[in-house]
Structures are given as structure tokens and as C-alpha cells.
Amino acid sequence: MQQYHHKWIDGSPVNLTCGKVVCIGRNYAAHAAELNNPIPATPLLFIKPTTAIVPLEKPLQLPDNLGEVHYETELAILIQQPIKSISSEAALSAIGGIGLALDLTLRKLQSQLKEKGHPWEKAKAFDGSCPLSPFIPYHTSIPLDDLHFSLKINGKLSQQGHTKLMLTSVANLISYASQFFTLLPGDVILTGTPEGVDKLTSGDQMTLQLQDYAQFSTSVA
């Protein structure tokens, strides 16, 4: 597998070592409902390793013989400084950039693991399960609690999200995650997916839009 490196939207490298991905499950009520999942009282955290991260712009290589792979489009937050047990008020200073990601999921396997009360890693953290876009440098004029993003597949709208509908805001997610995990420069936080998830098929053409800031395209190999 080709080694991944973070990039800025202009194609220049981000001078941060690629780290772990801290993911937030069920952060949009409508998505929890579409999978018949209860809404958690506190953010649901899981981690993808660096081997899960691949460039979004490269054709997606789905695993063979492991069942349907579902897409979940998410706002991605790049961490730029070490933080531990940070407050929500201080969390924004830790953000280096924003982008979009796909949390690829082996849905049948995930369901089987949930039924047994087992961890999700095999269904969520497999190689290539986190296609990640280049990042837009973050500045305080970017309204993190009022961002639209969307996914079109073969020209048809499949998902659209609005961060104001998050059960837990970006700043609060960073703060909450930092209570359990030290977040290091180059780590990424995925903030949850809206409703509309479904399976991917070979040949699918995908367009991801982050408000007026950026548009990204990819395909399924």
C-alpha cells in the first residue's frame, strides 16, 4: 500500500506526520434511526489506524470477499497541536484544517459484531477504510457549526449533511475525545455521517462537496 501523506487543498504537503483517526459514531440522529440504532447519551468513539487512510482522489480499492462496503461521508478535522483533556473553548485552537472523508464500512460484518457485543474494528478499520481529502486551512471565520456538505454518486444526491444537526458540536467532540486519547499533530477526527448511507459498486463516480470551500471527486475501482 502506498504511504499516505496529508495535503493542503493547493496540493502542497502538510508538515505533520499522519496519525490516528478518531471517529464519532451516531452523531446525526437521522443516521442512527436509519440503521435502527439508539442515540448515544455521550459521543460514541472508535479509532482507525494510519493504515486505513488513503487519498480520496485515488480510485477506491474495496476489499474482496468481505461483503458490501457502505459509504459514510463525514467532515474531517485535522489536529495541529498536542492536546489532552482540553476544554471546548480551547479546542478550536487545535484545528489545523478541515476536509471531507469517507468512513467505509463492512455493514454486514459490523451488524454481526454488534449482535455479539464485539468491537467494530474489523468492519471499520480495515486497510483503505478512510479515504481522506486534502485539507482547507482552518481559520475562525469558517463556521464549524453551520457547514453544509454532500455526496453525489453517479450524479445523484446520496447524502447531505449540515453540522448544525450534529448531536455534539465539533468543539465539544474535540474536547470529549481528548479526555480519553491524547490527540497529536496529524491526527484526524471524523465527526459523524448524516443519513443516506448505502453500498458502493464498482465503477461508481463520486463527488463530495464541502459548502463553497472545495469539491472532491473519486471513483470506485
Q: For the chain, which domains are there?
A: 21-219 (3.90.850.10)
Burial of 89 (0-12, 13-18, 19+ CB in 10 A): exposed
Q: Which residues contact 136 (CB under 8 A, 6 or more apart)?
A: 8, 9, 97, 98, 99, 142, 210, 213, 214
> Can you give the pLDDT at residue 34?
82
> Can you give the pLDDT at residue 2?
62
**Cα–Cα distance measured from residue 129 to residue 84, given in angstroms and rounded to the nearest whole number:** 26
> Can you give the pLDDT at residue 114?
87
Q: What is the pLDDT along the chain (221 residues), one digit of tens a residue?
A: 568 999 999 999 999 999 999 999 999 988 877 888 888 899 999 999 999 999 999 999 999 889 999 999 999 999 999 999 999 999 999 999 999 999 999 999 999 998 999 998 999 999 999 999 999 999 999 999 999 999 999 999 999 999 999 999 999 999 999 999 999 999 999 999 999 999 999 999 999 999 999 999 999 99
| Contact indicator for 155, 81 with CB cutoff of 8 Å | no
Could you tell me how many helices (H) and strands (E) the chain has, helices first?
5, 15
Cell of 189: 477526527
**Cα–Cα distance measured from residue 75 to residue 94, given in angstroms and rounded to the nearest whole number:** 16
**Cα–Cα distance measured from residue 125 to residue 105, given in angstroms and rounded to the nearest whole number:** 8
> Can you give the pLDDT at residue 3?
82
Residue 107 exposure: Cα atoms within 13 Å on the Cβ side: 11
| Contact indicator for 84, 130 with CB cutoff of 8 Å | no
| Contact indicator for 60, 218 with CB cutoff of 8 Å | yes
Phi-psi region of 28 (alpha: psi -120 to 50; beta: other; left: phi over 0): beta
Q: Cell 436509519 belongs to which residue?
A: 34
Give the largest Cα separation in the chain, rounded.
45
From first CA to last CA, the distance across the chain in angstroms is 15
Helix (H, G, I), strand (E, B) or coil at 42: coil
> Can you give the pLDDT at residue 32?
73
Cell of 157: 444526491
